[in-house]
């Protein structure tokens, strides 16, 4: 896995690189000493090294009953659903997919640095067993949840971390937990009435985490693969990024539950389990980068700056 | 100015809306009481109301000597430079623009949720007076700077806020300040050597703020208008999002200093001054949203979740 950084294409000389690596090591040592007062000393690994050293048991396959394939003209977007946080919305979106509600509908909104949204532009497509609206599932009891907690301070919530691959926040004082609006998170658009969502319109976060939406709208999943197909949608020129002309919309070919496709047509994906030592090492490797390019380790990480590693299961397991 | 939110297109009934507005008011009152212990009580205004109530003196025109126009096939991207933080890089990028260095070069990298980058794919275009590399300008002394500080806790830095429209962070203990990698910030790509940047390759942040880059690379400006032209660039399939085929690149028509264009060809833009009471009210209106759609105010705001308002000067000043 490559480490992203705004680098030039050329390369330094070997001598320069060696000197810089030495300088980076010295900086890292100082940072490690400082960090040791409050946390275990960081393992000086890069994210690539952490993942390369992972074991098969650090990974889990996506549950095909809780995985959606959104088929766009440009390709497949894979969404993992979050029944732990939005059980009724997940059930309803699965029902919508099974009655082929989304097939032939469209991406009708793309607002820069915010969301891309799809649904029925005309609002006329009939439903069969699925519901048009549901009671809000903005948050749930913290009780019964085990959070892989981040020690880093968060601007918005008293506690942040991960559960089952999802970024979460919680307030232990009031005993509530909720999903966080990080890049790639999928939610159910709603009107002003809190119970006016339900999943017939879905949005995905395409910019800086709009954390002010947390606890204001039901999140129900996240994009595991294919964000680059959604994030490049031309931005709409209408209010809130809605397209003003129908021709500007991108049609949805289908939206299907993975389990409903023949196995040969499924994408065999694995994601890193977030309750493992490997995930904690991955977070630490992102908190303090040890790739040669980095000179000053951040020492901290935002809950929305930990993209969950995913890989092709068939390729890696050979 | 409309307030973005993942809403459905339909509208609630007037009765439902009134009840919800009442509920929102009750929530807001509780939040205001809690906030009153540490800060002045929030003014219950929406961002639109704050901006509508602004006075002409709350706004400033962009300095044409410190404004760049990046002309893409799809239109103009307007960049404000940050000489307070990167004086030599700004001077060099202005020199590059004046010798028309970027004209005919290309966007050669687009990495999802990270950066779009442009420069010379072949690395062969000769320079005239401009420099190819410069000493790093990752940070500067805090002394002499007046920060419009955010009271909200930040994950990464002891102090965050705004100076002259730019998001900044600082560490008073070591007396250093630096620009923050928020959405739309523009920086100078570099190789592993810290002094290997200079501005011949420029990148812009297109996703979740990559704060781990702060103090690791020279930021020199920000996109004030036209981000939606850069953020939709097809993502490159090569390592780090580089395009693998030259045909995938988007050509740069020109990159010019605004002052070098006839006045009729300039875009007359104004941005909100960040050292004004109006800006503070705008931040507060984003911290605790009072639009009817919002039910639970966040109470906090991230330094990268405060996009700086910009408007057409000629239209508004009539």
| Other Cβ atoms closer than 10 A to A317 | 12
- Residue A117 is predicted with a pLDDT of 98
Q: Answer yes or no: do A192 and B17 touch at CB < 8 A.
A: yes
Return the minimum-mean-pLDDT range out of A11-25, A194-208, B180-194, B227-241: A11-25
Are both B49 and B72 inside the same structural domain?
Answer: no
| Other Cβ atoms closer than 10 A to A83 | 17
Q: Which of A10, A117, A293 sits opposite B123 (nearest CB)?
A: A10
A111 contacts in chain B (CB < 8 Å): 4
Q: Which of A123, A189, A228 sits opposite B6 (nearest CB)?
A: A189
Are both B145 and B162 inside the same structural domain?
Answer: yes
Residue A200 in any domain: the answer is yes
A300 contacts in chain B (CB < 8 Å): 155-156
Are both A50 and A179 inside the same structural domain?
Answer: no
- Residue B15 is predicted with a pLDDT of 36
A224 contacts in chain B (CB < 8 Å): none
Residue A51 in any domain: the answer is yes
Strand-strand pairing, A250-251 and A254-257: unpaired
Largest Cα–Cα separation, chain B: 68
**C-alpha closest to that of B267 among B128, B1, B75, B7:** B75
Provide the domain count of chain B.
2
**Which range marks the domain in which residue B71 is found?**
61-270
Residue B25 in any domain: the answer is yes
Are both A127 and A241 inside the same structural domain?
Answer: yes
Are both A251 and A305 inside the same structural domain?
Answer: no
For residue A90, the distance in angstroms to the closest alpha carbon of chain B comes to: 18
**Contact, B76 vs B220, CB < 8 A?**
no
ipTM of the complex: 0.87
Q: How confident is the model at residue A60 (pLDDT cuts 50, 70, 90)?
A: very high
Q: Which of A115, A123, A301 sits opposite B6 (nearest CB)?
A: A115
Residue B211 in any domain: the answer is yes
Going residue by residue through chain B, which has 318 residues, state the pLDDT in tens, using 9 for 90 and above: 333 456 554 433 333 333 333 333 333 333 333 433 455 554 589 999 999 999 999 999 999 999 999 999 999 999 999 999 999 999 999 999 999 999 999 999 999 999 999 999 999 999 999 999 999 999 999 999 999 999 999 999 999 999 999 999 999 999 999 999 999 999 999 999 999 999 999 999 999 999 999 999 999 999 999 999 999 999 999 999 999 999 999 999 999 999 999 999 999 999 999 999 999 999 999 999 989 999 999 999 999 999 999 999 965 444
Q: Answer yes or no: do A217 and B6 touch at CB < 8 A.
A: yes
Q: Answer yes or no: do B193 and A12 touch at CB < 8 A.
A: yes
SS (H, E, C) A21-60: HHHHHHHHHHHHHHHCCCCCCCCCCCHHHHHHCCCHHHEE
- Model confidence at A193: pLDDT above 50: yes
- Residue B231 is predicted with a pLDDT of 98
Are both B40 and B95 inside the same structural domain?
Answer: no
Strand-strand pairing, A176-179 and B148-149: unpaired
Q: Which of B77, B200, B207 to mutate: most A Cβ within 10 Å?
A: B207
Residue B18 in any domain: the answer is yes
Size of interface A-B (CB pairs under 8 A): 222
The distance of Cα A24 from the centroid of its chain, to the nearest Å, equals: 31
Residue B207 in any domain: the answer is yes
Are both B39 and B170 inside the same structural domain?
Answer: no
Question: Which residue from B minimizes the CA distance to A3?
Answer: B240
Residue B4 in any domain: the answer is no
Are both B170 and B94 inside the same structural domain?
Answer: yes
Q: Which of B208, B210, B227 sits opposite A112 (nearest CB)?
A: B227
Question: Which residue from A minimizes the CA distance to B20?
Answer: A193
The distance of Cα A104 from the centroid of its chain, to the nearest Å, equals: 25
For chain B, the residue count is 318
Say whether A220 sits in a helix, a strand or coil. strand
Are both B236 and B125 inside the same structural domain?
Answer: yes
Kindly report the backbone phi and psi dihedral angles of residue A267, in degrees, each rounded to the nearest multiple of 5, phi listed first.
Answer: -100, 115
Strands across the sheet containing B106-111: B250-251, B106-111, B115-119, B202-205, B185-188, B218-225, B75-81, B67-72, B254-257
What global pTM score does this model have?
A: 0.88
- Residue B23 is predicted with a pLDDT of 37
Q: Answer yes or no: do B7 and A295 touch at CB < 8 A.
A: no
Are both A104 and A249 inside the same structural domain?
Answer: yes
Q: Give the E-state strand segments of chain A in sequence order.
A: 59-61, 67-72, 75-81, 106-111, 115-119, 140-141, 148-149, 159-163, 166-171, 176-179, 185-188, 202-205, 218-225, 250-251, 254-257, 269-272, 310-312
Per the prediction, chain A carries an average pLDDT of 89
Q: Which of B209, B212, B294 to mutate: most A Cβ within 10 Å?
A: B212
| Domain of residue B229, CATH code | 2.40.100.10
Residue A1 in any domain: the answer is no
**C-alpha closest to that of A77 among A314, A200, A255, A221:** A255
Q: How confident is the model at residue A318 (pLDDT cuts 50, 70, 90)?
A: very low
- Residue B314 is predicted with a pLDDT of 67
Are both A186 and A242 inside the same structural domain?
Answer: yes
Q: Which of B42, B136, B155, B233 to mutate: most A Cβ within 10 Å?
A: B155
Q: How confident is the model at residue A13 (pLDDT cuts 50, 70, 90)?
A: very low
């Amino acid at each position: 896995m490559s480490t992203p950084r705004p680098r030039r294409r050329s390369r330094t000389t070997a001598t320069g690189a060696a000197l810089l690596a030495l300088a980076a090591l010295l900086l890292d040592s100082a940072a490690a000493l400082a960090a040791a007062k409050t946390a275990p000393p960081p393992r000086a690994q890069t994210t690539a090294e952490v993942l390369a050293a992972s074991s098969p048991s650090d990974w889990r396959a996506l549950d095909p009953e809780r995985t959606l394939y959104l088929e766009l003209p440009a390709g497949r977007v894979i969404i993992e659903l979050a029944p732990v946080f939005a059980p009724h919305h997940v059930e309803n979106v699965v029902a919508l997919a099974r009655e082929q509600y989304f097939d032939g509908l469209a991406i009708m909104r793309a607002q820069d640095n915010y969301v891309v949204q799809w649904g029925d532009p005309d609002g006329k497509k009939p439903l069969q067993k699925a519901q048009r609206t549901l009671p809000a599932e903005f948050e749930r009891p913290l009780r019964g949840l085990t959070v892989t907690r981040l020690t880093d301070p968060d601007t918005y919530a008293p506690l942040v971390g991960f559960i089952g691959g999802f970024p979460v926040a919680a307030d232990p004082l009031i005993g509530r937990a909720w999903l966080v609006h990080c890049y790639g998170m999928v939610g159910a658009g709603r009107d002003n009435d809190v119970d006016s969502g339900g999943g017939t319109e879905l949005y995905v976060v395409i910019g800086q985490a709009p954390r002010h939406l947390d606890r204001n709208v039901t999140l129900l999943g996240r994009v595991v693969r294919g964000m680059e197909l959604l994030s490049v949608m031309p931005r709409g020129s209408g209010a809130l990024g809605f397209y003003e002309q129908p021709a500007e919309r991108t049609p949805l070919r289908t939206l299907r539950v993975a389990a409903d496709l023949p196995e040969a047509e499924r994408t065999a994906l694995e994601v890193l389990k977030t309750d493992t030592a490997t995930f904690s090492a991955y977070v630490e490797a992102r908190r303090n980068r040890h790739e040669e390019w980095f000179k000053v380790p951040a020492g901290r990480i935002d809950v929305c700056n930990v993209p969950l590693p995913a890989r092709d299961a068939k390729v890696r397991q050979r």
